[in-house]
Amino acid sequence: MKPSPAVPWLFLSPFLALFTLFYLAPVGYAGYLSLFIKKRAGFGPAKDVFGGFANYARAFQDQDFLGSLGNILKFGVVQVPLMMLIATALALILDSHKGRLQGVFRTAFYLPYTIPSVIAGLLWGYLYAKNVSPFNQISAALGGVKTDFLDSSLILWSIANIVTWTWTGYNMITLYAALQNVPTDLYEAARIDGADGWKLTRFIKLPLLKPSLLLVLIFSIIGTMQVFAEPFVLRPLGYVPDNITPNTYLYLVASRDGNFSYAATLAILLAGFTFLSSVAFLRFTRRGGEL
Amino acid sequence: MTAQPVAERTVPVTTERSRAPKPRRERFAGWQLAVLGLFAVYSLLPLWWVLATIFKDNGQLFSTFGLWFSAPSHLAENMHVLLTRQDGIFGRWLLNSFIYSGATALGGVIVSAMAGYAFSAYNFRGRDSMFTLILMTIMVPGTALVLPLFLMMQKMGLLNTYWAVILPGLVNPFGLYLMRLFWDAGFPKELMEAARIDGAGEWTIFQRLGLPLVRGGLVTVGLFSFVAAWNNFFLPLVAVSRDNLFPLTLGLSVWNQTSSSSGQEPIYTVIVLGALVSILPLIIAFLALGRYWTGGLANGAVKG
């Protein structure tokens, strides 16, 4: 007996209902909101009036917003490749041998991922605080200077370190698992063909890792665009600029300035940038760009 | 993908020699051990600092070496403050975190398992384009959704309720994607035909026959949802403002803000102890269910 064509839709209905309500509707609503601007008529309170694309025009001239994008671009260009490089190197080393220490290292590398980013930010905040930091204690004991890791010139990289600490092990496990899924026959064959050590890595393992590396890259780009909790918890400890990341700026525009329509505009732009950069990377690598 | 030609060229050679024992050495080389050890120290250093700090009071936090223990111990005192400050609200936050994460994981698994089943087991019009559309939303940063969600929930009267934090977490495009992979791999479609001939209904086939076959997928997706909900910060930050609805992440961050600014006695080491308590459940879950943690992303990558 053939099932009724309605059956798959019944299975889909809970997901689709929630997806519409909590994914599509917010995006649509943000798009709608972004078309309104606050206008003050005479002495009355500010009113939301239709402003067309005025908010978008404003965003592209908003030095604070552009600055936040610049920050996150700097952050991404340095942090993402560095993290991927370390994760790949660790995965390749772990995969090259089978030893008892393997499990120990894997667990140690993975533990930071289990720690919420707020808590990670909080703990690193103490490790950074000028007068508490054990790094400064060691430096002082050796006759060196104390560094203020929360200074505005260093803060972006202090945050990058927290993100690297949290995610490198997680990405390493992803890559490592992909390596472990490779049939050992393939390695045997390569060895017989004379590929060993570096050659095996370069011509067999790295190409096999490509889809996983791509996945890690896309998720890292998405994650980078969203950095929020770490700078948010570091704010009370040191000088963190309002626009250190697009998300902190967006949050302040909404919560401090109460300008929801402009914040919605920034959310739309941010989602658009993330989407475009992910698609661009997918396109670029699909076209046969070697990793 | 570019790996393909390599595989095609080399695999046939193996047939004659594949029975040979694997020439894998048992030990890491010195430089490899050094690299691994260095990174292990980096990964564990903050946790080690936490272990040393929970025994200190604020004076010792500033006056003693951060990476070592110091006497006398103030652990009992810190624990007492943690559990009694603001009428013991920390316990409430811990409970809230379990409620938010447990409900999100359970509900999310059911929703994703059903939807993944629909995509995997049935062929219907618009299936592939809809799946692609849903997958594309993985690239929309979740935080971009939070602000409009806040305004919508305000209109619906959901703010400052448990639902405000749980409901948005139930729908997880990546969980759906993973779940579909598990259904594709673990549930042979011939079983459906056979069960139908035996007179089983569609729901019975899904529940009795299907679900037990994708148990690993259910645990993996549930675990990821649980961790995501436990770690979530932005959503509760805007969705709940009453402190008895806070999850641990939000509560500790508020303590961290107020303890340094409100003129009260600072409670830094108490907050560090609270941080340790808040990460223990996930560390325990990780150590107990380790094999499921690696399943998620890796599966996606291999198939993708």
How does DSSP assign A57-96, residue by residue?
A: HHHTT-HHHHHHHHHHHHHHHHHHHHHHHHHHHHHHHHHH
**pLDDT of B285:** 85
Q: Which candidate in B93, B140, B232 is best for mutational testing of the A interface (most A CBs within 10 A)?
A: B140
Q: Is B227 on the interface with A (CB under 8 A)?
A: yes
Residue B32 above 80 pLDDT? yes
Query: In this predicted structure, what is the pLDDT of residue A46?
Result: 73
What percent of chain A lies above the pLDDT cut of 70?
Answer: 95
Please state the rounded mean pLDDT for residues B142-153.
85
Contact A254 B147 (CB under 8 A): yes
Taking the C-alpha atoms of residue A204 and residue A201, their distance in angstroms, rounded to an integer, is: 6
The more confidently predicted of residues A187 and A8 is A8
Residue A247 forms contact with B (CB below 8 Å): yes
Q: Is A109 on the interface with B (CB under 8 A)?
A: yes
B25 has a pLDDT exceeding 60: no
pLDDT at B10: 34
Provide the pLDDT for residue A168.
96
Chain A residues with CB inside 8 Å of B246's CB? none
Which member of B35, B45, B304 has the closest CB to residue A93? Answer: B35
pLDDT of residue B298: 47
- Residue A144: which pLDDT band, with cuts at 50, 70 and 90? confident
- In chain A, pLDDT over 90 holds for what percent of residues? 46
More confident residue, A183 or B94: B94
Average pLDDT over residues A261-285: 86
Q: Does B71 touch chain A (CB under 8 A)?
A: no
How would you write A137-197 as a 3-class SS string? Answer: HHHHHCCCCCCCCCCCCCHHHHHHHHHHHHHHHHHHHHHHHHHHCCCHHHHHHHHHCCCCH
Q: How far is A43 from chain B (nearest CA, A)?
A: 27
Query: Which pair of tokens denotes residue A102?
Result: 């393997």
Q: Mean per-residue pLDDT for A57-69?
A: 95
Q: What is the mean pLDDT of residues A18-32?
A: 91
* pLDDT-wise least confident of A186-200, B81-95, B171-185: A186-200
Q: Which residue of B has its CA nearest to A259?
A: B147
Using alpha carbons, select from A122, A187, A270 the residue that is nearest to residue B7.
A187
Residues of A with CB below 8 A from B206's CB?
11
* Contact status of A30 with chain B (Cβ, < 8 Å): yes
Nearest to A248 by CA among A79, A65, A119: A65
Could you give the CA distance from residue A275 to residue A269 in angstroms, rounded to a whole number?
Answer: 10
Per-residue pLDDT at A1? 61
Per-residue pLDDT band for B30 (boundaries 50, 70, 90) equals confident
- In total, the C-beta contacts within 8 angstroms joining chain A to chain B are 317
For chain B, what is the radius of gyration of the CA atoms? 25
- Give the best residue of A95, A119, A185 to mutate against chain B (max B CB count within 10 A): A119
Task: Give yes or no for A274 touching B (CB within 8 A).
Answer: yes
Q: Which helix (H) or strand (E) holds A241?
A: none
How far is it, in rounded angstroms, from Cα A165 to Cα A110? Answer: 10
Tokens of A223: 């994650």
Give how far Cα B105 sits from Cα of A14, A19, A34, B174, Å: 15, 16, 33, 13
- Asked if residue B20 has pLDDT above 90, the reply is no
By the CB < 8 Å criterion, does B288 face chain A?
Answer: no
Confidence of residue B5 (pLDDT cuts 50, 70, 90): very low
User: Does the distance separating the beta carbons of B118 and A228 come in below 8 Å?
Assistant: no
For A177, the closest chain B residue by CA position comes to B298
Q: Give yes or no for residue A291 having a pLDDT over 60.
A: no
Which of A177, A214, A275 has its CB closest to that of B140?
A275
Of the pLDDT bands very low, low, confident and very high (cuts 50, 70, 90), residue B260 is: low
Domain boundaries, chain B: 22-77, 85-303
**Which of these, A69, A44, A5, lies nearest to A266 by C-alpha position?**
A69
Residue A20 touches chain B, beta carbons under 8 Å: no
> pLDDT, tens digit, for every residue of B39-55?
999 999 999 999 999 99
Tell me whether B63 touches chain A (CB under 8 Å). Answer: no
Chain-chain contact of B272 with A237 (C-beta, under 8 angstroms): no
Asked if A123 and B272 come within 8 Å (Cβ–Cβ), the reply is yes
Which pLDDT tens digit goes with each residue over B64-82? 888 999 888 999 999 999 9
Q: Identify the pLDDT of residue B263.
A: 62
* Contact criterion met (CB below 8 Å) for B223 and B105: yes
Taking the CA of residue A282 and the nearest CA in chain B, the distance in Å comes to 12
Among B74, B237, B35, B138, CA closest to A215: B138
- Taking the Cβ of residue A191 and every Cβ of chain B, the question of whether any pair is shorter than 8 Å is answered with yes
Lowest mean pLDDT among A32-36, A282-286, B60-64, B134-138: A282-286
- Answer for the pair A99, B32: CB distance below 8 angstroms, yes or no: no
Of B66, B115, B227, the CB nearest to A137: B66
At B119, which amino acid appears? Answer: F
- Cβ separation A254–B227 shorter than 8 A: no
Instruction: Check residue A208 and give its pLDDT.
Output: 86
For residue B8, the one-letter residue type is E
A148: left (phi over 0), alpha (psi -120 to 50) or beta: beta
Is A254's Cβ below 8 Å from some Cβ in B? Answer: yes
Query: Any CB–CB contact under 8 A between A194 and chain B?
Result: no
Distance CA B151, CA B153 (A): 6
Instruction: Report the SS3 class of residue A35.
Output: coil
Distance CA A233, CA A129 (A): 13
Q: B283: burial class by Cβ within 10 Å (0-12, 13-18, 19+)?
A: middle
Tell me the average pLDDT of chain B: 84
User: Is A265 within 8 Å of chain B by CB?
Assistant: no
For residue range B195-248, list pLDDT tens digits in order: 999 988 999 999 999 999 999 899 989 988 998 899 999 899 999 999 999 999
CA distance readout (Å), B199 to A10, B206, B262? 20, 14, 69
- d(CA A53, CA A36) in angstroms, rounded, equals 8
B85-303 CATH fold: MetI-like fold (1.10.3720)
